[in-house]
Amino acid sequence: MSTVPEMFGSKVFNDATMRQRLPKETYKALKKTIDNGEPLDLSVANIVANAMKDWACEMGATHYTHWFQPLTGITSEKHDSFISPTADGGVIMEFSGKELVKGEPDASSFPSGGLRATCEARGYTAWDPTSYAFIKDDTLCIPTAFCSYTGEALDKKTPLLRSMDAVSNQACRILKLFGINVPRVTSTVGAEQEYFLVDKEDYKARRDLILTGRTLFGCPPAKGQEMEEHYFGVIRPAVSDYMKEVDEELWKLGILAKTKHNEVAPAQHELAPIFSTTNSAIDGNLLTMEVMKKVAERHGLVCLLHEKPFAGVNGSGKHNNWSLSAPGLNLLDPGKKPMENLRFLVFLAAVIKAVDEYQDLLRVSVASPGNDHRLGANEAPPAIISMFVGDELGEVIDALADDTEYHDHERQKMDLGVAVLPKFSKDNTDRNRTSPFAFTGNKFEFRAPGSNMNLSDVNTVLNTAVAKELREFADILESAENFEAEAMVLVKKTVKEHKRIIFNGNGYSDEWPVEAEKRGLHNLKSTVDALPTMMDEKNLRLMNDFGVMSPAEMNARYEVGLENYSKVLNIEALTMLEMANQQIVPAIIDYENQLASTIAVKKAVNAKISCNAEEHQLETLAECADIISEAINNLRIARKAAKNDPDPLGSARGFHDVVIPIMDRLRMAADHAEQVCGEDFWPLPTYTQMLWYVKD
């Protein structure tokens, strides 16, 4: 086996490979594009394309693809071979600059939210040179942006790249005021990915897992996560083998897979990479999800990335660790004395104001039917967006807002009372798992995103909202006579005005929603509640002002969001109906039949013999079956009505307000029946079987 450093990035056309394979001038031009966001010449692209192709062919690749992220959020690829016919009837392998920088896939079968009609099929993909090309399945994958014939973004990457430019431009203006001249500030992301592993045979026996990614039925196992033994528990050999292979595959793809551990729920795990520039971190995360699924297949397992595969145990999130960095500087690092670190305070104030003013957009960016099961349940942060800053920074903020004096904290040493144990300094923030947006020492951790999401939306909102606040600050401070004094006044004013967004208490408590309402914070409980805020004037203006998304592009995403919500719920409702009709009701009837015949036979033998046990089970099952049957009828009608509502918002509301409560009733009755029905009769693998599978 090769060593990790040898393996790392071996399938990536990365900086080292570029430096080695490109003429010096070409390399320099490309590097300028990558580092400073400067445009690239076609003549340069031609040379890069040829070098890429040679490298890819040496690695065994035969095809290339423009790899992009349509509004479905997942990745798309169409493979073309490098072959080009020669006069003598043979082929040579060719790849031009034109083919590298631009592709023309048929755009008509991707969601566009009305941005183009089906007959206007043409779409373009455009090379994102800031994210490295890589080889997957003998295909050279070129990360690209995807837009319509008319130039509107039809993907997740384009707005993200625009937002990265926006925040860079404004952050550079601020840094200049501090005497720091840099060409670019990058937003950085580290995405912690949670997932479940289940046995492939169980998966194959569950239509709900196959079609919807989550279990729509299943009574809680006798033992769930209450013993708190799985989190950071010893990783079982079968899972460890899987994790090792995932790591290796990711390293080859240049993804900085770093941390792996068991998560809170049984059968739940996490993988975290070392952070990188936002767009490549997101490309890396999408690849990570793909690799995790593929490798699981090879181990007789299935990797579930749904936000809530199992009711009653924790769901899966994807924590978005975010910061801003200039060469050699993390702009959210408070240093030893945050109160005296004016640069940090300015950036902190901008983030506080951004999160407060655009709570609704941040909430929308994590809204999906799957994530609705997490947010607000006592396992993930609430649907109310607030910020946690910890004690030390909390005191700094109080002092700024109240204009009172602040006393620096001596960094406390921890003494565990045992001589051989090291004494170490305490961090300046504790952890608060209940907060959606927590300061964690030198970055913010947005914990609301769901495990299945493409993090582009989240970071597009974050970058653009922060850009807007930084621009406001720069506009004021660039004409300041006494920069430092005026910057401090601005920080204080901002903190005072937006302090309501800071909440260091328990986000799971019943008091918090009441308190949040008093503070005037949004509590957008479901996707359907959240989505319409996208179209608020203030939000349209934000995206438009920075050229991140036009109102038409925003509207498209709004429509796609509603459409997606209704489609997911429609599939879930249909799957439930199918399972209830074809699997659950027949199972109940079979067992009822057995009970009834047993009673009849016993009575025939001796009319006095007790049949209490059988009768009791039979009665319970009959009651469950009645509720199930009624729910089936109601669900059929409600689903149809919601689906046929011509108004997209009305349709989504129909699913949320009417269909979901019936689905809940149907499930409750079926889960009750599962508890009573004979094991040999029940047609579905149970929660106990799926969560406590042993594969060693």
Q: Which residues bind Mg ion (CB under 5 A)?
A: 192, 319
CB of 277 to ligand ADP, least distance (A): 10
Q: How far is the CB of 317 from Mg ion (least distance, A)?
A: 9
Between β-strands 139-148 and 63-67, what pairing exists: parallel, antiparallel or unpaired? parallel
Q: Is 335 in the site for ligand ADP (CB under 6 A)?
A: no
Which of 308, 319 has the CB closer to Mg ion?
319
Q: Which is nearer to ligand ADP, 112 or 321 (CB)?
A: 321
Work out whether 91 is an interface residue with ligand ADP (CB under 6 A).
Answer: no
272 in contact with ligand ADP (CB under 6 A): yes
User: Is the separation of the CB atoms in 360 and 533 below 8 Å?
Assistant: yes
Q: Which does 17 bind (CB under 5 to 8 A by kind): ligand ADP, Mg ion, none?
A: none
Say whether residue 322 binds ligand ADP (CB under 6 A).
Answer: yes
Which amino acid belongs to residue 644? Answer: N
Q: Which does 330 bind (CB under 5 to 8 A by kind): Mg ion, ligand ADP, none?
A: ligand ADP
Per CB under 6 A, which region of 85-93, 115-123, 204-212, 318-326 contacts ligand ADP?
318-326
- Pairwise CA distance, residues 469 & 347, whole Å: 9
Q: With CB under 6 A, what is the number of residues at the site for ligand ADP?
A: 17
Q: Which is nearer to Mg ion, 192 or 592 (CB)?
A: 192
Question: Which of 330, 620 has the CB closer to ligand ADP?
Answer: 330
Interaction of residue 675 with ligand ADP, rule CB under 6 A: no
Q: Is 269 in the site for ligand ADP (CB under 6 A)?
A: no
Alpha-carbon distance values, 225 to 259, 264, 268, 689 (Å): 22, 7, 10, 14
* Integer Cα distance of 553 and 563 in angstroms: 15
> Which residue of 207, 269, 306, 443 would you call a contact of ligand ADP, by CB under 6 A?
443
In this complex, which beta carbon is closest to ligand ADP, that of residue 204 or of residue 232? 232
What single-letter DSSP state applies at residue 479? T
Does 330 help bind ligand ADP (rule: CB under 6 A)?
Answer: yes
Q: CB count, 10 Å around CB of 317?
A: 27
Q: Which stretch binds ligand ADP (CB under 6 A): 197-205, 437-445, 580-588, 590-598?
A: 437-445
Q: Where are the beta strands (DSSP E) in 453-567?
A: none
β-partners of residue 192 are 319
Of positions 274, 485, 489, 601, contacts ligand ADP by CB under 6 A: 274
Under the binding rule (CB under 6 A), the answer on residue 250 touching ligand ADP is: no
For residue 190, the partner it binds in ligand ADP, Mg ion, none, with Cβ less than 5 to 8 A by kind, is ligand ADP
SS (H, E, C) 334-365: CCCCHHHCHHHHHHHHHHHHHHHHCHHHHHHH
| 92 Cα distance to chain centroid | 42
Q: Which stretch binds ligand ADP (CB under 6 A): 22-30, 266-274, 497-505, 629-637?
A: 266-274
Minimum CB separation of residue 274 from ligand ADP in Å reads: 4
Please list the residues that pair with 146 across neighbouring strands.
125
Shortest Cβ 322–ligand ADP spacing (Å): 6
In the set 2, 43, 109, 259, which binds ligand ADP (CB under 6 A)? 259
Q: Is 210 in the site for ligand ADP (CB under 6 A)?
A: no
Q: Token pair of 146, please?
A: 């995807």
Q: Which two tokens stand for residue 383?
A: 């649907």
Decide: 525 and 517 in contact? Cβ < 8 Å. no
Binding ligand ADP by CB under 6 A: which of 193, 225, 321, 526? 321
- Residue closer to Mg ion, measured from CB, 446 or 565: 446
Amino acid in the structure at residue 375:
L
Pick 8 or 322: Cβ nearer Mg ion: 322
Task: Indicate the residue among 326 and 542 with the shorter CB distance to ligand ADP.
Answer: 326
- Quickly count helices (H) and strands (E) in the chain: 25, 20
The DSSP secondary structure of 125-185, one letter per residue, reads EEE-TTS--EEETTEEEEEEEEEETTS-B-BSHHHHHHHHHHHHHHHHHHHHHTT---S--
Residues 6+ apart with CB under 8 A from 685: 202, 205, 206
- The residue of the chain with the least Cβ separation from Mg ion equals 319
Crossing angle of the two packed helices 483-498 and 390-402, in degrees rounded to 10: 110
Residue 433 CB, nearest approach to ligand ADP (Å): 10
Comparison of 380 and 660: residue with beta carbon closer to ligand ADP: 380
Residue 244, both tokens: 């090792």
DSSP state of 302: E
Instruction: Return the number of the residue (463 or 575) whose C-beta is nearest ligand ADP.
Output: 463
Residue 80: beta bridge partners?
A: 64
Strand, coil or helix: what is 471? helix
At closest approach, how far in Å is the CB of 276 from Mg ion? 16
Asked if 390 interacts with ligand ADP (CB under 6 A), we say no
118, 106 Cβ separation under 8 angstroms: no
Residue of 189, 243, 253, 528 interacting with ligand ADP (CB under 6 A): 189
Question: Which tokens go with 41?
Answer: 């010449």
Q: How far, in Å, are 480, 496, 497 from residue 490 at the CA level? A: 11, 10, 11
443 binds, among ligand ADP, Mg ion, none (CB under 5 to 8 A by kind): ligand ADP
Single-letter amino acid, residue 225? Q
CA separation for the pair 221, 199 (Å, rounded): 17
- Tell me the window of 71-79, 442-450, 569-577, 635-643 that interacts with ligand ADP (CB under 6 A): 442-450
Q: Given the complex with ligand ADP, which of 101 and 282 has the nearer CB atom?
A: 282
As a whole number of angstroms, the distance between CA 121 and CA 148 comes to 8
Chain contacts with ligand ADP (rule: CB under 6 A): 188-190, 192, 259, 272-275, 319, 321-323, 330, 442-443, 445
